[in-house]
Chains A and B, each alone.
Chain A
């Protein structure tokens, strides 16, 4: 079955430290990959996406992610986090149809 795994449900990070949020998926087909962010009491907004081409993609708010086909991963990174990055982050994968499959989310908490 096609699935998306975010192993870390919560990640605490000190302000100005780097962070990596992990996402793995299970599929051998070509995929489209997305990261969404959800701030408290809001809807989801797109952070970045990988459709094709360069495996390193840059998104909003200084985030970037790298697609690794051999490891079926799409980890999200930021070199220096800010208090305003406190949110829940969702990885989503399109497995070649009209739907997205979402991971269970990672809650990022920034410690002052």
Chain B
């Protein structure tokens, strides 16, 4: 299994509070991604990174920000959580030499009350 961990694995928070999710990899892959998974929508890309301090938006980036200060860590921040951000969040990594095949972390279940 690819060395990808996510923390926390479960979190319940209140509307309006900031939340940060962490993705950590031990594979030294260049690309890292954050997705959210919701019933009927599959996986939707929130943000991705193509190197340290290099990030770009995905299709559902509103309300989210990311940072990558080290190759191994990719943080996803909800500045002010809303109930619509209740979801399961997955991190993934990939490399050019692997034809961008993505390896996924175990996921974080976030509930915003």
Contact = CB atoms under 8 A, between A and B. Distances in A.
8 tightest Cβ-Cβ pairs between the two chains A and B: A104-B42, A43-B104, A44-B104, A102-B43, A102-B42, A43-B106, A105-B42, A94-B100
A42 B104 CA distance: 10
A104 B90 contact: no
For B43, B94, B96, B107, the residue with the greatest tally of chain A CB atoms inside 10 Å of its CB is: B43
B100 to A, nearest CB: 5
Determine the main DSSP class of B at the interface with A: strand
A62 B14 CA distance: 45
A46 interface: yes
Interface of B: 31, 33, 40-45, 48, 50, 58, 90, 92, 94, 96, 99-107
A46 B1 CA distance: 11
Contacts of A100: 100, 102
Interface in A56-112: 90, 92, 94, 98-100, 102-105
Contacts of A43: 90, 104-107
B99 A32 contact: yes
A34 B101 contact: yes
